[in-house]
Amino acid sequence: MSVTLGFQSPTQLLIDGKWVDGEGRRTLVVENPATQQEVARIADGTPKDARAAVEAAVQAFASWRQTSVYERSRLLRRWFDLVEQDRENLARLMTIENGKPLSEADAEVTYAASFIEWFAEEAKRAYGRTVPATRAEKRILVLRSPVGVVAAITPWNFPAAMITRKVAPAIAAGCAVVLKPASQTPLTALRLGELLEQAGAPAGLLNIVTSSQARKIADVWLDDARVRKITFTGSTGVGKFLMERAAGNMQRLSLELGGQAPFVVFADADLGVTLDALMVAKFRNGGQSCIAANRVLVEEGIVDEFLVKASERVRGLRVGQGLEPGVAVGPMIDAVGREKVMEHIEDALARGARLTAGGSALPGAGYFVEPTLLADVNSDMKIMHEETFGPVIAVTTFQTEKQAVEIANATEFGLAAYLFTQDAGRAWRVAEALDYGVIGLNDGLPSTSQAPFGGFKESGIGREGAQEGLDGFLETKYVSWGSVGIGLGG
Ligand code: NAP
């Protein structure tokens, strides 16, 4: 079974190195959110398939853990090269199943591949250490070992990068993986799996179970003590569920969850730089990004100029199908996503916000919402507390540095915050005072494979990317060697 989109791409489950229909032989429809048309039918995996995936991963782990880091690095490097070569197809798949503009999908291929490249190198740096012991005849060695079989569950908003950010470090560490990608964007995941197979991955190193039964698949993996780590990116609600359930087998957890990013603009900021950054921080992926700027806090003295210039830019954004040239904003992923965005807009307007651009859902096929700017937003409005996940800028004002930080930190989330100022002292003070894991300082696009990405508070646990991203798949073990002796013999 394969889907034809001008090229062949897999639609079956990947288990133990084989493409299979799955136990139930049922299928799941993949839809294009820009047209609401069926794009493909893929295998709809069942709990039995999820168990078969674990069996395969357990077998693969037994030998993969014994490979040298250089062998792992070479496999990842070959995967990286194949992903780069397949750039056009991967980008097209992402635009078709997620809706994002093709240029953004192309940028996501670069971003996704960068994790594979980074961890191909970082594999070689899983260093241990020796520690001076309290007794002269003893030696203490600290070793790093792979955590074991890893279960990864990923969202639809970055269909490629959220997978490589987990699978590449897991493979680098010596782990085997069972993956359940989002049911709305499975085609990108399956193609990445096919490319890893072509790179020469041993059977069972990566197993992919696409399914409409996320909870049941997760239950199988949570109940199996041989699965030693759950790595999840998605909503905070599902993250909390997984955390509770993982306690049963004390599985390790990494959780990359929701955000409610403040975007703080001081009067001394360079307004051109700030607005360029805001367009990216807000409208990338139609605002459906965990680090999307949700609340824009502008110092009172410059708010009028800010609103005029920002509204002009927002009105200039072209909305449409991602495959059309010049489109800057695609559709929301589905009707539920669009409803939530409209609910935030309507709630803000009912409570006194002022519309300066957009404000409506577009009629016809596709889940489109106009790029929108709301002024005079206040803390009673939903948009100031919940993640909007849509193309809406909500502007509120502040008077002092202290007040800006208080408003910015007034949320249970703590993923990303943005800060715009040309005053170096203020930049340090405010960056240190913000309770967030990622700070964009005069930067609207802080995500990168070399930096440790993750959130404070309800935005998650653990970090992905950088050295920390590899650490998440390693256990620490020490060997206390009691009888080395003192001085030289003979
Ligand atoms: P979601 O509903 O939590 O889904 C994420 C994944 O979990 C999907 O594969 C989904 O499967 C699966 N899932 C759903 N219910 C589950 C359950 N009870 N048990 C186990 N798995 C379950 O989130 P989403 O709407 O796809 O993604 C948007 C959220 O992800 C936003 O909150 C966003 O901020 C967050 N996010 C965070 C980061 C970060 O790095 N912090 C990055 C990207 C996105 P189905 O697709 O089959 O439902």
CATH, residue 422: 3.40.309.10
Decide if 46 is inside a domain: yes
Q: Are residues 237 and 371 in the same domain?
A: no
Give the per-residue pLDDT at 1: 40
Residue with CA at minimum distance from ligand 1 atom 37: 257
Ligand 1 pocket, Cβ-based, cut-off 6 angstroms: 153-158, 162, 180, 182-184, 214-215, 218, 233-235, 238, 241, 256-259, 290, 387, 415, 455, 460
What average pLDDT does range 2-18 have in this prediction? 86
Residue with CA at minimum distance from ligand 1 atom 40: 256
Rg (CA), the chain: 24
Confidence of residue 4 (pLDDT cuts 50, 70, 90): low
Q: Are residues 80 and 25 in the same domain?
A: yes
Decide if 233 is inside a domain: yes
The catalytic position among 104, 122, 290, 464 is 290
Q: Which candidate, 97, 88, 94, places its Cα nearest to that of 40?
A: 97
Average pLDDT score over the chain: 97
- Residue 269's alpha-carbon distances to 58, 89, 273, 419, 426, in angstroms, are 54, 40, 8, 9, 11
Q: Are residues 381 and 405 in the same domain?
A: yes
Is the pLDDT at 214 greater than 60, yes or no? yes
Torsion of CA 14, 19, 24, 28, to 10 degrees: 70
Q: Are residues 332 and 390 in the same domain?
A: yes
Confidence of residue 303 (pLDDT cuts 50, 70, 90): very high
Give the per-residue pLDDT at 128: 96
Q: Are residues 269 and 220 in the same domain?
A: no
Q: Are residues 122 and 140 in the same domain?
A: yes
Residue with CA at minimum distance from ligand 1 atom 26: 155
CATH of the domain at 180: 3.40.605.10
What pTM, to 2 d.p., does this model score?
A: 0.97
Q: Say if strands 8-10 and 2-4 run parallel, antiparallel, or are unpaired.
A: antiparallel
Q: Are residues 176 and 268 in the same domain?
A: no
For residue 149, the cross-strand partners are 176, 227
- Residue 41's alpha-carbon distances to 179, 362, 447, in angstroms, are 19, 27, 32
Confidence of residue 456 (pLDDT cuts 50, 70, 90): very high
Is the pLDDT at 254 greater than 50, yes or no? yes
- Under DSSP, is residue 453 helix (H, G, I), strand (E, B) or coil? strand
What average pLDDT does range 322-342 have in this prediction? 98
Q: Is 56 left (phi over 0), alpha (psi -120 to 50) or beta?
A: alpha
Q: Let me know if 290 is a catalytic residue.
A: yes
Q: Are residues 423 and 464 in the same domain?
A: no
Give the per-residue pLDDT at 326: 96
Task: Report CA(446)–ligand 1 centroid distance (Å).
Answer: 21
Q: How many Cα atoms sit within 13 Å of 453 on the Cβ side?
A: 21
What average pLDDT does range 53-78 have in this prediction? 98
Q: Ligand 1, residue 218: give the atom nearest the CA.
A: 20
Is the pLDDT at 334 greater than 80, yes or no? yes
Decide if 448 is inside a domain: no
- Residue 242's alpha-carbon distances to 169, 206, 220, in angstroms, are 21, 21, 12
Decide if 312 is inside a domain: yes
Decide if 452 is inside a domain: no
Q: Ligand 1, residue 238: give the atom nearest the CA.
A: 3
Residue with CA at minimum distance from ligand 1 atom 35: 234
What average pLDDT does range 206-235 have in this prediction? 98
Strands (E), 247-370: 252-256, 261-265, 293-299, 354-357
Q: Are residues 212 and 346 in the same domain?
A: no
**Number of structural domains, the chain?**
2
Decide if 449 is inside a domain: no
Is the pLDDT at 32 greater than 60, yes or no? yes
Task: Report CA(216)–ligand 1 centroid distance (Å).
Answer: 15
Task: Report CA(138)–ligand 1 centroid distance (Å).
Answer: 48
What average pLDDT does range 311-320 have in this prediction? 98
Give the per-residue pLDDT at 3: 56
DSSP secondary structure code for residue 376 in this structure:
S
Residues 388-399, buried b or exposed e (16+ Cβ, 10 A)? Answer: bbbbbbbbbbbe
Q: How many Å apart are CA 161 and CA 158, to the nearest integer?
A: 6
Decide if 69 is inside a domain: yes
Task: Report CA(336)–ligand 1 centroid distance (Å).
Answer: 14
Q: Are residues 351 and 372 in the same domain?
A: yes
Residues 150-162, buried b or exposed e (16+ Cβ, 10 A)? Answer: bbbbbbbbbbbbb
Confidence of residue 490 (pLDDT cuts 50, 70, 90): confident
The catalytic position among 31, 194, 256, 458 is 256
Q: Give the residue carrying structure tokens 């040309």.
A: 422
Q: Give the residue carrying structure tokens 């995996």.
A: 45
Q: How many CB atoms lie within 10 A of CB 340?
A: 16
Q: Let me know if 121 is a catalytic residue.
A: no
What average pLDDT does range 378-400 have in this prediction? 97
Q: Are residues 369 and 473 in the same domain?
A: no
pLDDT digit string, tens, across residues 106-117: 999 999 999 999
Q: Are residues 241 and 305 in the same domain?
A: no
Task: Report CA(236)–ligand 1 centroid distance (Å).
Answer: 8
Decide if 282 is inside a domain: yes
Domain with 413, as residue range(s), is: 261-441
Q: Which candidate, 145, 86, 80, 153, places its Cα nearest to that of 119?
A: 80
Is the pLDDT at 390 greater than 80, yes or no? yes
What average pLDDT does range 2-24 have in this prediction? 88
**Greater confidence, 36 or 24?**
36
